[in-house]
Structure 1
Amino acid sequence: MKYLKNIKIELKWAIIFTIMMLVWMLLEKTLGWHDAQIADHKWITMLFVPFAVFMYVLAMRETRRRFYNRKITWLQGFLSGLIITIFIALLSPLAQYLTHNYITPEYFENVKDYSITNKLMTIETANEYFNLNTYLLQSFFGALLGGVLTSAIVAIFLRRS
């Protein structure tokens, strides 16, 4: 039963992370990075990375404080981050659905038009790449990969004996 307390902490932070990601999408949309400024979208999206890492730090610090009595090994921290990562990956398709159906439904058409007009992709390639199904898969596997790497690195800095 004690470990359920830890999973509750990690689930809470995965939900907070997902909400923050949706707010970021709203910010991108509001600042025109999904339409007028779409050329900058690819690198602007990278500005989210420090916020994502910060969320992992906060989550793993809370786990260390509330579950491990302020002492945590790298492995314990990594496993905590891994659980957060799994929850985030499971929530990512929902976040993508909400993003592309409610926050920015015109994103796919805008990014396709930009890619084709600027000869970055053919029409066929753009249609295959920029659609909800592809983004659902990318967000799931991207969350897993990014979360595992972030967990491993953050756990190094948060370990305490």
Structure 2
Amino acid sequence: MNKFKIEFRWAIYYTFLSILWFQLEKSLGYHNQNIDNQPYITNLFYVIIFFIYILQLSDKKKNYFKGIMTWQQGLISGVVLSVFAMILSPFAFYFKLKYVNPEFFQQMINASTSRGIKLENAEAVFNLKAYITLGIVDCLSFGIIFAALASAIIKSKNTK
């Protein structure tokens, strides 16, 4: 586990920041009066996630690889971060939806049905199981993409 201590630490940061972002969305009204714009604001979080990958790989390069890291080493490190974040994501979703905004799903369902979406379809999308599944898939799929891109940026110049 010591080999992946940096990845685990950054997965905790990632998880904590996702909870803070959800709180910020709620505080700025994107869970009630501005709920129609919530999906767009949520997608801005991907910029922060990519920045987390850049910081994590910089940390790994400096403190584990002693300043020299190949693209492959960075990719593996980023994928490990993705796996740890994926494991933590159900707990983060549960916390966000239990303590930060327990009415989130009902608010999203109401907003969806007011735009003409059938109630059954809205309920199928906005529930804990669906959000946890989506969170797991997003962590892994976007994580691999972000790991590849961030690794290409952070890798040492004298490696292939």
Shift of 1:145: 0.6
Distance (Å, rounded) in 2 between the aligned partners of 1:135 and 1:143 = 12
Identity %: 31
* RMSD of aligned residue pairs (Cα, Å): 0.8
Q: Which residue of 1 aligns with 2:58?
A: 61
Instruction: Decide whether the 8 Å contact of 1:6 with 1:63 is kept in 2.
Output: no
Residue-pair matches, total = 157
SS in 2 for 1:22: helix
**TM-score normalised according to structure 2 size:** 0.96
Cα deviation digits, residues 47-93 of structure 1 (max 9, x gap) = 11221111111111110011111001100000000000000000000
SS in 2 for 1:72: coil
**TM-score normalised according to structure 1 size:** 0.95
- 1:12 alignment partner, one of 6, 9, 17: 9
- 1:150 alignment partner, one of 146, 149, 152: 146
Shift of 1:27: 0.3
Shift of 1:35: 1.1
Q: Which residue of 1 aligns with 2:105?
A: 108
SS in 1 for 2:14: helix
The equivalences for 1:133-148 within 5 A come to 133-148=129-144
Q: Which runs of 4+ in 1 moved over 2 A?
A: none
Unaligned runs of 5+ in 2: none
Code of the aligned partner of 1:103: V
SS in 1 for 2:33: coil
Q: Which residue of 2 aligns with 1:42?
A: 39
SS in 2 for 1:105: coil
